Amino acid sequence: MTLILPAKAAAAIAAHAESTYPDECVGLLIGTLNDEYKTALQVVPLENRWSGQVQLAPTDDPLSRRDRFYLDPRDYLRAEREARAGGYEIIGCYHSHPDAIAVPSERDRIGAQAIGGSRFSFVIQAVRSGVAAELTSWLLVNEGVRFIEEQVQIVPAERVAR
């Protein structure tokens, strides 16, 4: 699959990622989906609600949001209701990797198990020294065993078909 990302949406993700630096940001992508293409029409920034209660491993520093995010299911459901009311759906989520490469971590894989399906995009925005760097997108396949990278096409807004 290819994720079609209007330049405006890509810029919104980059700006969100820079604004929460050095912490990770998190948000959702709202849009349309068919067999070949996913198109992100709207970026919904959410709060990174990471806290000790959602610790995944005993070695976790429960207070740091620098290498992890937590997408609150209540935020997800609210965004999903709004998307559906507008005739759209949640096609993916994004988060940032402050001073790290835009490749999913093992923590991302564990945390992603409950989100989306095999066509759900996991977008990662790298940020280096506070400045947005590369953006990648991933699909969780083989029943959550591994991520594979998907193509991202950044297009000018006027070329986005609704």
**Binding residues vs Zn ion (CB under 5 A):** 105, 108
User: Among residues 23 and 108, whose Cβ is nearest to Zn ion?
Assistant: 108
**Please, which residue, 88 or 147, has the CB nearer to Zn ion?**
147
d(C-alpha 25, C-alpha 142), whole Å: 27
Nearest approach, Cβ of residue 94 and Zn ion (Å): 10
Q: What residue number has its CB nearest to Zn ion?
A: 108
Residue 2 or 105: the one with the smaller Cβ distance to Zn ion is: 105
Q: Which is nearer to Zn ion, 32 or 105 (CB)?
A: 105
Q: How far is Cα 81 from Cα 8, in angstroms, rounded to an integer?
A: 23
* Beta carbon of residue 3, minimum distance to Zn ion (angstroms, whole number): 17
Quote the CA–CA distance of 28 and 110 in Å, as a whole number: 18
Closer residue to Zn ion in complex, CB, 41/43: 43
Q: Least separation, in Å, of the C-beta of 34 and Zn ion?
A: 28
Shortest distance, position 46 Cβ to Zn ion, whole Å: 15
Considering the complex, what minimum distance in angstroms separates the CB of residue 15 from Zn ion? Answer: 18
